[in-house]
Structure 1
Amino acid sequence: MAAHTLSKLPTTSSTSASLFSNSNTRRRRPQSLPLPWLGTNNVSLRYSNLRPHEQSKHRPIAASVLSSLPTANPERLSSAEKVPKWSRKAIKSFAMGELEARKLKYPTTGTEALLMGILIEGTSLASKFLRANGITLFKVRDETIKLLGKAEMYFFSPEHPPLTEAAQRALDWAVDQKLKAGDGGEILTSHLLLGIWSEAGSPGHKIMATLGFNDEKAKELESLSSESGM
């Protein structure tokens, strides 16, 4: 019976032998990998190029850093030694204002966006002064939506929403005040905030007035900036 059973077992064929022999041989390395997710089967990527760590070392990184803020009258700043520079906090406030305008899907960066940018930056004297007087980011944002309304759902603002005329004048006012002072140093966030307040008909001015800011507080902020030695 055992002999009869063994006789029915399959013998090793050439196919099975080749399978065993191939397991001991080196597998061939695919030369290309089809990438149907690129939209075509004709595009291939060699394994030798799949080196993310090596490729990342040589990949260029695009980055832009603001070193100054736009001015409508560059000709008045002809003398390089007299050109006042914006402080790091003021530049960050401006950048945060642009970002807030994009978040609200507004087509431009207005004085209301610059005001929110100052509050988002959060560490400057101007920002602390606003919060000490009850003017917070959430209140300014709510007042902005009440005043300007909500943007259309499917509208997308540009990467750098252009300044409104009032916002540009606020920046220029800050530069002019620093030039008139003639004391050197940088243009501070306080100058930017007072520049927003100087634009009486702008949304930023209206929002500040609605939340309790007035000329007396503007003078107080200016005095604090002078006393702090900035």
Structure 2
Amino acid sequence: MSLQSVTISDQVDWLAIPTPGPDSSLKEYLPRGFAAYLKILTPLGIDRRIPLNNYSFSSRSIDALNNRVNFWNTYRIVGGRPAPENLEPISYRELAASLGVAYDASFDAAAISRQYNGYWPPNLGGSDTLEAAFSQKLVAALGAATPTYFYGSLDDGNYHFTADNDLTDWLELGVAADLGPVFQRDRDYPSYAFAADHSWCLRHPEDAGWLLLGCSTQLRESLHTCAALELFDLT
């Protein structure tokens, strides 16, 4: 990584935006003034060996809980997710079709859980390999050598520790290609990653299974030509 820790002064002032309400458009999470706003779905994998039809999401009895534990042990499910090495990529388009729901900007990981009464299906999960491939494709469109700030906000639960073990916001300067290594290091995307010239801004709200991007029309068109990325225009 080419990252340098930077003292926060006024670099992130332009990110200050009103807190979106429950009915706000997702684009309200980003600074104003971009020509295009996109929702980019982060990758998912599936373990097709897991017979989901045999799985009970019920936890209302001791027997149901025991059956779930046995199922998890049999198929190496940890914390409700399959073993990363058993995953193969799956598109959200395929998932939407299998669930019989619309494939549009409202479809994401949260929408998948809603189809299972708020539970996560144990055959779906993520892995370092999937995230690395995803970030490489995204970075290629953003411009790998683009000078880029990476910002973690304590308010988003995206913090670093100080020498005194306190929680703090953080800011680092590197290039867009550092996005993948930052994810691998922190096990999460930064709250914001943005080009030093403010030509684009990537946002990751806390616990969201997607990224938001404000950018130029040219970058939007470039991203739409990348078949490996699933994204939607926000209006």
- TM interval, shorter chain, is under 0.3
* Structure whose CA Rg is larger: 1
Larger relative contact order (Cα-Cα within 8 Å, sequence gap ≥ 6) = 2
Structure with the bigger percentage of helix? 1
Structure with the bigger percentage of strand? 2
TM-score (ref. length: structure 2): 0.22
